[in-house]
Structure 1
Amino acid sequence: MSKINQKSKKLIPSGVWCIASVIVLFGYLGTVMGVPNMLNTIMKTAHDLLLNTVFYLMSICVITGALGRVFVEFGVVALLERTLRPLMRPIFNLPGVTSLGAVMTFLSDNPAIISLANDKRFASYFKKYQFISLTNFGTAFGMGLLVIVFMASQGYYVAPLIGLVGACCGCVCSTRLMQRFVLKAYPQYAVEDAVSKEDIEEEEEEDKKTEKTVFIRLLNAMLDGGRSGVEVGIAIIPGVLIISTFVMIFTFGPAVDGTYNGAAYQGVELLPWLANKIDFVFEWLFGFHDPHLVAFPITALGAVGAALSLIPGFISHGWIDGNAIAVFTAIGMCWSGFLSTHTAMLDSIGYRDLTPKAILAHFCGGLVAAISAHWMFWLYTLIAA
């Protein structure tokens, strides 16, 4: 049988499979949306993502990169390492300094962790397998402050906090699972340092060559960190534009009147349609009592900001309750656009080949976050009653 399979693979070149896949994909989209509308939607969605998402993320990377470099320069990172080591190592199997990444991604967005990871002195605290799992760790807290504040603005206060605890549970699952995947594929990474000692010594020697005042050190740290943020912002462009565009197209539907006009963020609603076929699973796992609620976690895969925009409509239709808010907060933080950012994040730190493992680990982490939030909210209502 193996010989027959090998012969069939030789008879059908990989290029044929590629062309067939492209024809099926765009043929399906073109049939539903119309070819001109499909092309216009793809271009306009990518253009809007570039202007309103990528540049926004780049600005976050610049600011957090500068702030992170200042923290490294003036010893905040070393202080965090000593203070939080007893907490971080047993829970996440990461150095205490990693907590800085959680804070910065919580206050901003996923790519903030890359600004820190690209700093050699920050990376020097990690073994390679731990360093790679940073993308999973940081992504679990992405846009956390925004999500919680938005939920509170809708009149929910306890549920978002329960969701935050659920997101922490999902982060533990995602981070440790990713470390397991990495060590299984590359056992040597368990002992290899993320950054060589020679690189650290060179950087420290350069800093010692000239005595610098506090002002100069502060200025250099901010500018160098901001410059690294720009580089990271450019690195995430391909992943965001390519992956997010197609996630949006398969998630969203036509215009309000039910027609396609080539506007940005229109699509064929394939993902919600598939999810509705197994809505009973989501009811058991997440406590969803309406199949429309499935749209939130699916949309959060591409952009949690777009997912949040669904909530006012859910509330107006009476589909939502405190349990859904807790689950949305947990899964919104864990799945805050990770399909688009994971690829770019791992690519920027040089481990692109591990992207499928990172996505699988984080997908599981998001499920754990949502399930944990659902049952913790159930326990809360039981106690409160």
Structure 2
Amino acid sequence: MKKVKAFSAGTIILLLFMVGTVVLYGNVMGLANFFSTIMATAHDLLINTVLFILAITVLAGALGSFMSEFGILALLNRILAPGVKLLWRLPGCSALGAISTYVSDNPAIIALSKDKSFIDYFEDYQKPALANFGTSFGMGLVVTAFMMSLGFFKEAMIGNLGAVFGSIVSTRIMLRFTRKEFGVEKGKTALAEDPEAYRYRTIREGNLFQRVLDALLEGGKGGLEIGAQIVPGVLIICTLVLMMTFGAGTAGYDGSAYQGIPILPKVGEFLSWPLKVLFGFSSPNAIAFPITALGAVGAALALIPNFISEGLITGNDIAVFTAIGMTWSGYLSTHIAMMDSLGFRHLTTKAILSHTIGGIAAGVFAHYAFMIFLG
């Protein structure tokens, strides 16, 4: 926190922008309908989407904790470690970071980075790339479970493959930047082999039944916290995006939920050719998902049920959404804090640039993989 002037020229510009927005929407929708739609949309999102996502995060948290307690995550870490070294050019123990963020959220990688027994196996130039690597898998289990709950199993799996590809692109680009920053020549590395700290794990006290119960309940509690944290993002960001996505509908403006001025579809139409080539989007409205996922993937997920009910998206879009949603997972809202926590604030812009490219690559991979295997 720092002190600044009570107001500035930027304050006046922002105020004029806010007034202009209200005037625009009020003129098109009617002022009463405008405010009624805001409340109705936020309420419907809370009841029909947020609580659904919250239930998924609780179950996902319980599953992740159970897998950790009984060594399943450790086994996956051992299996995945060779691939991590080959594809991401990171120490094998990084696999634990990917698994941790997959079953929880982006900041899980920060908790690991503070563990000396973990971070000591990274060379200095590799440490900043942890933000990109971990973020690529943030809320992966929640995103995947959400898509599968809507009946898109194969599409979600392809999306996961896309996220893996995007994470490789993002991490490797970031490592190119950090090699130059730290003056490391290509090939001059000393990656750690089989860290001692990951040959053992800590378990809870008590008998088998107590451990199962504690793992499930504590994991569910952690999932509840994650689910609660996404509520502001869903209600605020998603309401704004939806009101820039849909129009009046057949009944005209009447203050109902999910009405607004279709601004984003106009942007989507303008970008229709590159979006079609890159992602194969079925509708210009689909651009709303990646835009929302930049700030909050939970809010982006809230767009999908309405897209499906309106018949605006297909299985290809779901695969692309899964890939982009996992890879970006709200990175614009977390990357700065994550890079600061890692102690590399000055590399934040490079990390964001790398991850932007990685998310686009994930979506492109998912689209063409879908066309090859399911198209």
TM-score, normalising length: structure 2: 0.68
Check 1:43–1:121 CA distance in 2 against 1; reply closer, same or farther (3 A cut).
same
Q: 1:236 aligns with which of 213, 216, 230?
A: 230
Aligned to 2:65: 69
Residues 10-45 of structure 1, C-alpha deviation per residue, up to 9 Å, x if partnerless?
995332233122222323222222221111111222
Aligned to 2:95: 96
Aligned to 1:334: 323
**Structure 2 Cα separation of the partners of residues 184 and 339 of structure 1:** 25
**Structure 1 Cα separation of the partners of residues 160 and 68 of structure 2:** 27
- Tell me if the contact between 1:251 and 1:298 (Cα under 8 Å) persists in the aligned partners: yes
- Tell me if the contact between 2:97 and 2:108 (Cα under 8 Å) persists in the aligned partners: no
Aligned to 1:267: 260
Partner amino acid for 1:50?
A: L
Tell me the CA shift for residue 88 of structure 1.
2.4
- 1:136 corresponds to 2:126: no
Partner amino acid for 1:86?
A: P
Tell me the CA shift for residue 278 of structure 1.
3.3
Q: 1:295 aligns with which of 281, 285, 294?
A: 285
Aligned to 1:28: 24
Number of aligned residues: 332
Tell me the CA shift for residue 250 of structure 1.
0.9
- Tell me if the contact between 1:251 and 1:268 (Cα under 8 Å) persists in the aligned partners: yes
**Structure 2 Cα separation of the partners of residues 338 and 162 of structure 1:** 13
- Tell me if the contact between 1:41 and 1:264 (Cα under 8 Å) persists in the aligned partners: yes
> Which residues of structure 2 form unaligned runs of 5+?
184-197, 293-298
3-state SS of paired residue (1:251): coil
Aligned to 2:208: 214
**Structure 1 Cα separation of the partners of residues 182 and 233 of structure 2:** 25
Check 1:162–1:364 CA distance in 2 against 1; reply closer, same or farther (3 A cut).
same
- Tell me if the contact between 2:53 and 2:146 (Cα under 8 Å) persists in the aligned partners: no
Q: What RMSD, in angstroms, separates the aligned Cα atoms of the two structures?
A: 4.6
Tell me the CA shift for residue 286 of structure 1.
4.3
Tell me the CA shift for residue 262 of structure 1.
1.3
Aligned to 1:280: 273
Partner amino acid for 1:132?
A: A
Partner amino acid for 2:11?
A: G
- Tell me if the contact between 2:136 and 2:329 (Cα under 8 Å) persists in the aligned partners: no
Aligned to 1:194: none
Residues 116-137 of structure 1, C-alpha deviation per residue, up to 9 Å, x if partnerless?
6587699774666455332332
Aligned to 1:3: none
**Structure 1 Cα separation of the partners of residues 349 and 45 of structure 2:** 23
TM-score, normalising length: structure 1: 0.66
Tell me the CA shift for residue 275 of structure 1.
2.0
- Tell me if the contact between 1:331 and 1:370 (Cα under 8 Å) persists in the aligned partners: yes
Tell me the CA shift for residue 348 of structure 1.
9.6
3-state SS of paired residue (1:137): coil
Tell me the CA shift for residue 276 of structure 1.
1.1
Partner amino acid for 2:364?
A: I
Residues 135-157 of structure 1, C-alpha deviation per residue, up to 9 Å, x if partnerless?
3323567633654686769xxx7
Structure 1 or 2: larger helix share?
1
> Which residues of structure 1 form unaligned runs of 5+?
1-8, 105-111, 188-199
Tell me the CA shift for residue 164 of structure 1.
5.5
Tell me the CA shift for residue 99 of structure 1.
5.2
- 1:56 corresponds to 2:45: no
**Structure 2 Cα separation of the partners of residues 273 and 33 of structure 1:** 18
Partner amino acid for 1:295?
A: N
**Structure 1 Cα separation of the partners of residues 180 and 257 of structure 2:** 42
**Structure 1 Cα separation of the partners of residues 180 and 173 of structure 2:** 11
- 1:249 corresponds to 2:243: yes
- Tell me if the contact between 2:60 and 2:141 (Cα under 8 Å) persists in the aligned partners: no
- Tell me if the contact between 1:65 and 1:116 (Cα under 8 Å) persists in the aligned partners: no
